[in-house]
Amino acid sequence: MAQDKTIVDEDTEVRPEPTLSLPATSTSPEGTTSEDSTGEPPFETAAPMQFLPPPIPRPGADATPDTPQAAAGPPVQEKSLLDTPETDAEPVDATPRRRMARRRAAGPSRNRIAANDDGPSIGGLIFALQQKPSSAPYKFAAIVSIIWGSIGAAFVIASIGTASPVLGWLDLLARPTTFLTVAAIVVPIALLWLMALLAWRTEELRLRSSTMTEVAIRLAEPDRLAEQNAASLGQAVRRQVGFMNDAVSRALGRAGELEAMVHNEVSVLERSYEENERKIRGLISELSGERHALVNTSDRVTESLMRLGSEIPTLIEKLSDQQVKLAKVIEGAGENLTTLETSLATSVGSLESAVGGRTEQLQNVLENYTSAIGTALGSRVEQMQVTFDNQLQQLDTSLGNRTENLQTVFEEYARALDAALANRAQALDYQLVERTRSLDEAFGERLRIFDESIMRSTSAIDTAVVDKTQALTNALDAHAISFRETIGKQATDLDEALMHGINSVRRASENITRQSIKAMEGLAGQSDLLKNISENLLGQISGVTGRFENQGQQIMKAANALETANFKIDKTLQNRHAELAQTLDRLSGKADEFSSFVGDYSSTMEGSLSEADQRTRGELERMRAHTSAESDRTLEDLRHRLTSVSTTMTTELGSLSNRFAATSEEMRQQASRAAADIASEQARLRTEMERLPVTAHESSEGMRRALHDQIKALDHHSQLAARSAVQRDVTPPPPLQSETVTPRPQPAP
């Protein structure tokens, strides 16, 4: 923008119009012609003024050389022999001399006039030649004639009334006053119309003389038109060079914007790729951690259930041993009762004689024996209850210890899992940082190379443009000097040649403009292509991101399923633990019932021992069968669920790994394609940048050739003008006494 503003300011500022001046010649006494000793500068920066005709002198004014004083005087170097006073070069003979002409100042400033404008048009001269003078003198003469005639008629009527009466027309004509009166009326009127005609003709001659004076001045100064056209041509060339510089600077700006866009797109792709890779690696690490945790948990649950299953048969065997011992005690009591009955049966005969005396002794013995048996049974029942209580307390203690061990193991595994996850995350972070650093270095190197190539191309273009501009300026200066030295005074041919040159320059500038527009359109197309590529990349990245999000959702669903399975496993374990507790409660209740039954058995010992034995064995068998069935069913259910969960997790992890590998491969392919597209675009932009100096060089060469052709044409026309300069009406001075060089004789008509 600053460069555009500078170019506009340079075009709009008022530049001094260079003027071309012919060398002033002086005639030496020996008759030789030499240049003025003061020399002449290459360009005169005189103040421009409007190209108007000089003021027309009033009638009767002296036509002196100092008449056109309204305009600024020309420089000293531009004065010719015609500008010197008559006293400087008095001819010996009395040959009359023409009025000395003066060179007028520079024409209008052409800083705002187009290059193909010819200055003042010939239409003004044609209009001036066709202009008619005013008819006011005739109107004034008519009015004065009417007034004078009315006054004369009134005088005639008054004189006739006072004199003798008129007898007829012959009498009126015979009077001498009649002719005097008619002459006094008609002669002034005729004089008035004659004066009006003279005034009208004088005005017409004044208009014609002013027009012819302007035509003569224009014919006398064709170098001014050539100077203006040459200055317009130089300004047009400078403007075209400025426009070309502007186009090149804008193309470079567009290339910089394109580079910034590519850099931004590459950075966005890098960030999105890093974020997606980080998310996927985090999800995979979390899934692997969850899988290991589930596998470890399932192994620990399986081991704990196996240990619990191995301990439950031991407890059942201990209960069976206690039951066997109790059965043996009951059998011993039964055998004792049997032996007692046998001894009673054998001793009935011996005791029949002593029934009376020995009855009380026998009752005492029986009562003591019965109380001893009751005491023994009570002690046995208490021992069995204490044993059951101890076994239940040991079972509760062992279950509590196992639960604490499981909790401790779970905590250790959780800490180990956290440490492993932290180490894995740190390793992944280090790898990602290394990958990011390498990518940053690679992209930085590529961008640095691209910047260096752009800077080299820009510097080459600037150098070429500056060189061409300097060469063009030098050529223009040299040709302007040659214009000043060799340009002629024939206006028509010079105008035609300049018009052809201006048309050629215009065509060259139009070609340059079209080439610049094509280059800008090509750059715009390239920017649109890069924009489309970026949009496609963004669409593909958004699709990949969507697939990543879908994979993440599937992973989250799998994690939720794992969490649900863990929750179900925990709930099942809690239910099984509650069922085991209920079973143990039922065992303790049954033991209490058995102790109460044993307490009641002291009164009904004979009929209830076998029933209690059968019931106890039935309950123990049922408890053993129920506990074994529940344990087997729980273990089988846990194994089935863990197997299904492990299979599902393995399948999901395998599919996720395959998808991640495919997605990573697709991302790598997309990145490689994007890098290839960016590299191709950079190469094409570099080619376009390298082509711009060639185009500028070709354009400058075309302009130089066109200018060279026009300069040749101008030289040719200047030679023609120099050969025909002697035929001019204004330039040839009268022959001097000391002249030795005489002009060529005029050709005979």
* Alpha-carbon gap, residue 642 to 297, rounded angstroms: 10
Q: Is the pLDDT of residue 37 over 50?
A: no
Residue 121's pLDDT band (cuts 50, 70, 90): low
Task: Report the sign of the C-alpha dihedral through residues 53, 55, 59, 62, in that order.
Answer: negative
* Alpha-carbon gap, residue 130 to 715, rounded angstroms: 37
Condensed to tens digits (0 to 9), the pLDDT of residues 187-235 reads 999 999 999 999 999 988 888 888 888 777 777 666 666 677 778 877 8
By CB atoms closer than 10 A (0-12, 13-18, 19+), residue 597 is middle
How confident is the prediction for the chain on average, in pLDDT? 68
Highest-confidence range of 98-107, 120-129, 154-163, by mean pLDDT? 154-163
More confident residue, 519 or 45: 519
CB–CB of 65/79 below 8 Å? no
CB–CB of 469/696 below 8 Å? no
Residue 434's pLDDT band (cuts 50, 70, 90): confident
Q: What are the tokens at 662?
A: 């495919």
Residue 541 makes CB contacts below 8 A (sequence gap 6+) with 269, 272, 670
* Alpha-carbon gap, residue 459 to 466, rounded angstroms: 10
The conformation of residue 19, written as its DSSP 8-state character, comes to B
- pLDDT score, position 432: 75
Do the bridges between strand 25-27 and strand 33-35 make them parallel or antiparallel, or are there none, so unpaired?
A: antiparallel
Q: Quick check: helix, strand or coil at residue 12?
A: helix
Count the alpha carbons within 13 Å of 673 in the hemisphere toward its beta carbon. Answer: 12
CB–CB of 242/123 below 8 Å? no
Q: Is the pLDDT of residue 316 over 80?
A: no
* Alpha-carbon gap, residue 260 to 685, rounded angstroms: 14
Residue 85 makes CB contacts below 8 A (sequence gap 6+) with 65
Residue 638 one-letter amino acid: L
* Alpha-carbon gap, residue 355 to 353, rounded angstroms: 6
Condensed to tens digits (0 to 9), the pLDDT of residues 498-526 reads 667 667 666 766 776 676 677 667 666 66
Task: Specify the range with the lowest mean pLDDT, choosing from 82-91, 330-339, 452-461.
Answer: 82-91
Percent of the chain with pLDDT over 90: 4
Q: Is the pLDDT of residue 79 over 50?
A: no
Count the alpha carbons within 13 Å of 404 in the hemisphere toward its beta carbon. Answer: 6
Residue 336's pLDDT band (cuts 50, 70, 90): confident
Condensed to tens digits (0 to 9), the pLDDT of residues 666-701 reads 766 766 776 677 777 767 767 776 776 676 667 667
* Alpha-carbon gap, residue 229 to 501, rounded angstroms: 10
Q: Which residue has the tokens 């002409």?
A: 101
Task: Report the sign of the C-alpha dihedral through residues 276, 279, 285, 290, in that order.
Answer: negative
Q: Which residue has the tokens 């008609």?
A: 186
Task: Specify the range with the lowest mean pLDDT, choosing from 102-111, 150-159, 326-335.
Answer: 102-111
Residue 739's pLDDT band (cuts 50, 70, 90): very low
Condensed to tens digits (0 to 9), the pLDDT of residues 563-605 reads 676 677 767 767 766 776 676 677 667 666 666 665 565 556 6
Highest-confidence range of 110-114, 660-664, 734-738, by mean pLDDT? 660-664
- The angle that helices 222-351 and 605-723 make with each other, rounded to 10 degrees, is 170
- pLDDT score, position 696: 64
Q: What are the tokens at 212?
A: 């012819």
Question: Which of 51, 54, 48, 44 has its CA nearest to residue 22?
Answer: 44
- pLDDT score, position 538: 64
Q: Which residue has the tokens 């280090």?
A: 430
CB–CB of 77/38 below 8 Å? yes
CB atoms inside a 10 Å sphere around CB 565: 18
Q: Is the pLDDT of residue 117 over 60?
A: no
Residue range 523-543: mean pLDDT, rounded = 67
C-alpha distances in angstroms, 219 versus 83, 211, 214, 579, 719?
A: 17, 12, 8, 132, 17
Longest distance between any two alpha carbons in the chain, whole Å: 242
Q: What are the tokens at 403?
A: 């639960």
Highest-confidence range of 15-24, 196-205, 431-440, 484-493, by mean pLDDT? 196-205
Residue 82's pLDDT band (cuts 50, 70, 90): very low
Condensed to tens digits (0 to 9), the pLDDT of residues 389-419 reads 787 788 778 777 877 887 787 778 778 877 8
Condensed to tens digits (0 to 9), the pLDDT of residues 11-35 reads 444 444 444 333 333 333 333 333 3
- N- to C-terminal Cα separation, the chain: 65
CB–CB of 77/39 below 8 Å? yes
Condensed to tens digits (0 to 9), the pLDDT of residues 130-147 reads 778 888 999 999 999 999
Question: Which of 138, 721, 216, 684 has its CA nearest to residue 450?
Answer: 684
Q: What are the tokens at 722?
A: 């120099």
- pLDDT score, position 601: 53
- Using the CB atoms, write b or e for 632-664: b if 16+ within 10 Å: eebbeebeeebeebeeebeebbeebeebbeebe
CB atoms inside a 10 Å sphere around CB 557: 11
- pLDDT score, position 145: 92
* Alpha-carbon gap, residue 405 to 411, rounded angstroms: 10
Condensed to tens digits (0 to 9), the pLDDT of residues 254-264 reads 888 888 888 88
- pLDDT score, position 32: 38
Highest-confidence range of 56-60, 229-233, 258-262, 333-337, by mean pLDDT? 258-262
Residue 313 one-letter amino acid: P
CB–CB of 691/497 below 8 Å? no
Highest-confidence range of 87-101, 148-162, 355-369, by mean pLDDT? 148-162
CB–CB of 420/310 below 8 Å? no
Question: Which of 209, 253, 342 has its CA nearest to residue 520?
Answer: 253
Q: Is the pLDDT of residue 295 over 60?
A: yes
- Using the CB atoms, write b or e for 669-691: b if 16+ within 10 Å: ebbeebeebbeebbeebbebbee
- pLDDT score, position 645: 66
Residue range 174-180: mean pLDDT, rounded = 74
- The angle that helices 491-601 and 222-351 make with each other, rounded to 10 degrees, is 10
By CB atoms closer than 10 A (0-12, 13-18, 19+), residue 322 is middle
Question: Which of 95, 99, 133 has its CA nearest to residue 216?
Answer: 99
Q: Domain-by-domain residue ranges, the chain? A: 121-220, 236-341+367-710
- The angle that helices 136-162 and 176-220 make with each other, rounded to 10 degrees, is 170
* Alpha-carbon gap, residue 310 to 694, rounded angstroms: 94
Per DSSP, helices labelled H in 602-726 are 605-723
The conformation of residue 747, written as its DSSP 8-state character, comes to P
Condensed to tens digits (0 to 9), the pLDDT of residues 602-645 reads 556 666 556 666 776 777 677 767 766 776 777 677 667 667 76
Q: Quick check: helix, strand or coil at residue 25?
A: strand
